[in-house]
Structures are given as structure tokens and as C-alpha cells.
Amino acid sequence: MSSSGAGSNGRAAALSARGSRIAGGARGLLDKGFDLYIADPFDRDRNPRGILNLGTSENKLCYDLIQERLTRPDMNYLEPHLLQYSDTQGIESFREEIAKFLTEYAKAPKALNPEHIVVMSGCCAVFATLSTVLCDPGDGYLIPTPYYGGINSKTWLYGGIQPVHVPLFSEVTDEESHPFQLTVEKLEAALQRAKEQGIRVRALILINPHNPLGDIYPAQLLKECLEFAHRYQLHVIIDEIYMLSVYDDTTFTSVLSLDCLPDPERTHFMWGFSKDFGMCGIRVGVLYTRSHEIRKAVNKLAVFHGCPGPVQYVLSQFLSDRDWLDNVYFPTNKKRLREAQNILVNGLTKIGIPVLKSSGGLYVWADFRKFLKSQTFEAEMELWWKFIDEKLLISPGKAFCCYEPGWFRMVFSDSVDKIYLGIQRLEQMLQTETAEPVANKTSAVEDELSNSEDETSVNHANTPLDEVSEAYSDMKKIVVY
């Protein structure tokens, strides 16, 4: 036997069947795109022809505020207990601060209980542990598509459970008011299909504000979804990680704000510091569940997903500074998000790319269907690779399990010069793909579903967002869904 053969067999023998399944799992498109970016990242000075990342959902708009707050003297604190083993559920004082924070900002009708909170190393850990204790291998969970595709791996790696799609489409029917609209009837239909296929559905997952659509569930729809789940004894996992990243006047309704839940023991809330506070690297996620048995089971797994004591202390101080949050961070963050979103949407409109009207999150859902060579996901992947060849990373609809090829998610929560550079690279690539001017190409659905919003058309390369708002005088109408 050759040495290479022995090595190969040895590696195979080293893994269990479960280990082989995990190691052999395909990486998602979002992960593949991020790997390409990491290997060749754009830098204005050191690598100006590197890949510009408008694909990864990170809020980079308020680093200056976060840095200033995290370097104040009250953050410089260390006691022995912060370096010792602590409650796997999270340090009690941290959970108390989270409970007070969520009570206020999620508008809970009464004070939330810190004992109902579990703190883990990011919402990925929350998804992985919660899905594992709620479902058996082979079980399914309902989830409207498109949706953040990373959920698939988080629920599959530990729990071995599968998504049951509730397909949403851009075409507006007589019973609907906007594209990609979720209805209880669509949930019912998907649940029935799963039963016919022999899949036991155990849960419904909702993302609010939505990723990648950027819309917000009305309170009435949220209640109808909870009633639907209650009828079929389904758990509801509601991911509200963009809860405080709403940048227009749309009213956001947190599930924590509802006075009377149809099934409180099966309703589970998730939130974290990654998006609303631009701290993806901190890795802190929060689960709020009233079920004692579920918390007990989750805590057994939380020992593998704990947060460092010093991090919990720093974030406790951070959350407790209501004056800074209310008067500095939140108003500035909302203003910068709104301005950045306006700049990206305006730039996309100029080159003939419609977007879905959005209210929350860090991204827009853009319609590139007219640039596909055919209405297939193969054509979508071909276009995606051409974007990457042009050194621009955005996220294709296939990564979000979208049932219509040609939709892409583009992140706007970055500096103005990077947004403009992204639009420039996009326009250069698209103009080489078509013989007629890109801006003159319009689709029938664009004409039919268009709305108008005030936008500005000015050149802001290398301009801070706060200065951009001062130039918002030359207004023009743009097309959005």
C-alpha cells in the first residue's frame, strides 16, 4: 500500500460518520464569497484593485462612536471573578442589564425576566443550540424564502434538521399589496406539502426586520403567524438581530412587545450585538425564552458557546449608558444608515437597477434579472462571477434560497467612497455586458411596481456621511418597488 493511500484511509478512518457528514458539507455561497474577499481584500492604499465587499452584512458606519465609547475609563475594569468560571447562562449582572435594555427598546409591556435570558457567542450559536433541542434529525422548520442562507448550516450541523421553504415571489397577486409578501395561506400550503412528503415540521423561523428583503412585518401579520404556529403546536423562533437598524418611519413591532402571546412557551426571541451595534467580532448573541425546559437543555450546550467575562462586563456598561445611546449612538446610526441607503439606491437607479423598498437592515434587495442571459440560476451564478472578476462582492439570490434568479443583496452600511466605487465597478461590468445603454433598459415589472422616494444626485466620493446630508438639495425621483 502506498503512503498516500495510507494517509487517505487514515484521514477517513479518523472521522465518525457524523464527522464525515460535517466535513463533507458544502460551504454556502456567502461563505465562498467571503473567502474570496479575505484572500484579496480591497484597501484604498495597499490594494486598490482588491475585492470590494458589499456582500457581507456588517455595520461599519459608526466605528468612530463605538471606539470612543469603548475606550472610556469606565470600560477599563478587571476583577478576579471576570476571569473565573461563571454561569453558563451568562453572568447575572449582564443578563439583568440585557433584560432592562430589551424591556425598554423592544417596548415590552412589562419588565423582562433576566432568568429567561441565555447569553451565547453569537446568534449562530443560538440557532445551533435552539434548533438542536427543539428538533430531532430529519425534522423540518418552516421558513419564508428568500432568507439568510447561513441559517441552513447553523441548524444542520448540530441538529441535522432541514428547511421547509415557504416560497415568496416578486409578482404581486390580487390578494397582495407588495412583492415577496408573506401570508398565513402560504404558511399553510408549505406545511401541507411537508406533511405529504413525510417531513415532521417542528418550528417556524421568522426574521424581522427581514434579511435580505429589508422589510418589516406588520404587527397584524406577526400575530397571525403566531396564531398559525399555535394551531399546529409549532415553536416560533424570531430573529430580531436588526431590531434597532430601522432607518425610516416604519413602525417596528418586536415579538417582545406583544401583550398576549398565543403560545409563550413555544415563542423564542433572538437578538445580538453584531448588527445594531456594528460588533460582529464581539460574538455575543441573546436568547429569550420563557420555557424552563428549553432553557435547561440550551444551557447544557451553552457551555460550548460561552462569552468571556470581561466582554460581558464591557457590554453591560455599554447597554447601561442610556444617555449616550439615546442622544448620540441611535440617532446618529439611524441618520447614517438612511443616508447610505439613499446613496446606494440612487446610484443603482441611475444605472437602471430597481430595488425593493426597504425599511430596516443594512442592505437592499436589487433586481438584476434583465441582465441575465437566461432566467436561470446558472445565469445568475455566471453574473455573480463576473461581478467578482470586476472585484466586487455582492450576494446572489441563490445564497438566500430565492426562487427567482436575478436578485442580489447589496450592503450599504459602509463609507461613501466605497459605495460609489461599488457602483462604478458595477456599471463598468454591466456596460460591457449589453450593447444598449444600461440606464435605458427598463423591465415591465419595474414600470408596473414603481414607487417614488426623494433622493439626491451628487458626487460624494471620499465624503463623510454626515457631510453628505448637507448636500441633499438637488432632489430627483427614483424607481423602487
282 with 350, same domain: the answer is no
442 domain residue, yes or no: no
Residuewise pLDDT in 10s, the chain (481 residues): 444 444 555 555 789 988 888 888 878 888 888 999 999 999 999 999 999 999 999 999 999 999 999 999 999 998 999 999 999 999 999 999 999 999 999 999 999 999 999 999 999 999 999 999 999 999 999 999 999 999 999 999 888 899 999 999 999 988 888 999 999 999 999 999 999 999 999 999 999 999 999 999 999 999 999 999 999 999 999 999 999 999 999 999 999 999 999 999 999 999 999 999 999 999 999 999 999 999 999 999 999 999 999 999 999 999 999 999 999 999 999 999 999 999 999 999 999 999 999 999 999 999 999 999 999 999 999 999 999 999 999 999 999 999 999 999 999 999 999 999 999 999 999 987 764 443 333 333 343 333 333 332 333 333 344 443 333 233 233 334 4
118 with 101, same domain: the answer is yes
210 with 261, same domain: the answer is yes
455 domain residue, yes or no: no
Q: What is the DSSP string of 213-247?
A: T-----HHHHHHHHHHHHHTT-EEEEE-TTTT-B-
Q: Which of these, 192, 152, 153, 146, lies nearest to 170 by C-alpha position?
A: 146
Q: What is the DSSP string of 151-175?
A: HHHHHHHTT--EEEEEE--SS--TT
CA geometry: angle at 283 spanning 276 and 279, to 5°? 35
Question: Range of 230's domain?
Answer: 78-321
247 with 125, same domain: the answer is yes
476 domain residue, yes or no: no
- Helix/strand/coil for 271: strand
All cell numbers assigned to 327: 442622544
Question: What pLDDT score does 88 carry?
Answer: 92
- Output the domain CATH number for residue 304: 3.40.640.10
Question: What pLDDT score does 477 carry?
Answer: 31
User: 392-393 and 407-411 as β-strands: parallel, antiparallel, unpaired?
Assistant: unpaired
317 with 340, same domain: the answer is no
Question: What pLDDT score does 91 carry?
Answer: 96
268 domain residue, yes or no: yes
Cell 438584476, located at residue: 368
257 domain residue, yes or no: yes
Question: What pLDDT score does 176 carry?
Answer: 85
Question: What pLDDT score does 20 carry?
Answer: 87
- Helix/strand/coil for 148: coil
Which phi and psi angles does 172 have, rounded to 5°? -95, 120
Instruction: Give yes or no for a contact between 349 and 455, defined as CB atoms under 8 angstroms apart.
Output: yes
**What is the Cα–Cα distance from 221 to 232, expressed in whole angstroms?**
17
Q: Which of these, 439, 209, 235, 437, lies nearest to 347 by C-alpha position?
A: 439
- Output the domain CATH number for residue 54: 3.90.1150.10
Cell 439615546, located at residue: 326
Question: What pLDDT score does 292 carry?
Answer: 97
CB-facing half-sphere around the CA of 121: CA atoms within 13 A: 11
163 with 277, same domain: the answer is yes
The domain boundary, picked from 321, 337, 363, lies at 321
310 with 373, same domain: the answer is no
Q: Which of these, 288, 245, 242, lies nearest to 265 by C-alpha position?
A: 288
Within 10 angstroms of residue 382's Cβ, the number of other Cβ atoms is 13
391 with 345, same domain: the answer is yes
441 domain residue, yes or no: no
- Helix/strand/coil for 393: strand
Question: What pLDDT score does 27 carry?
Answer: 81
Question: What pLDDT score does 23 carry?
Answer: 86
Question: What pLDDT score does 10 carry?
Answer: 56
The domain boundary, picked from 321, 342, 373, lies at 321
Query: What is the total count of domains within the chain?
Result: 2
306 with 368, same domain: the answer is no
- Helix/strand/coil for 439: helix
293 with 335, same domain: the answer is no
Question: What pLDDT score does 26 carry?
Answer: 76
CA geometry: angle at 156 spanning 194 and 54, to 5°? 105
The domain boundary, picked from 270, 305, 321, lies at 321
273 with 393, same domain: the answer is no
46 with 127, same domain: the answer is no
157 domain residue, yes or no: yes
444 domain residue, yes or no: no
**What is the Cα–Cα distance from 97 to 117, expressed in whole angstroms?**
11
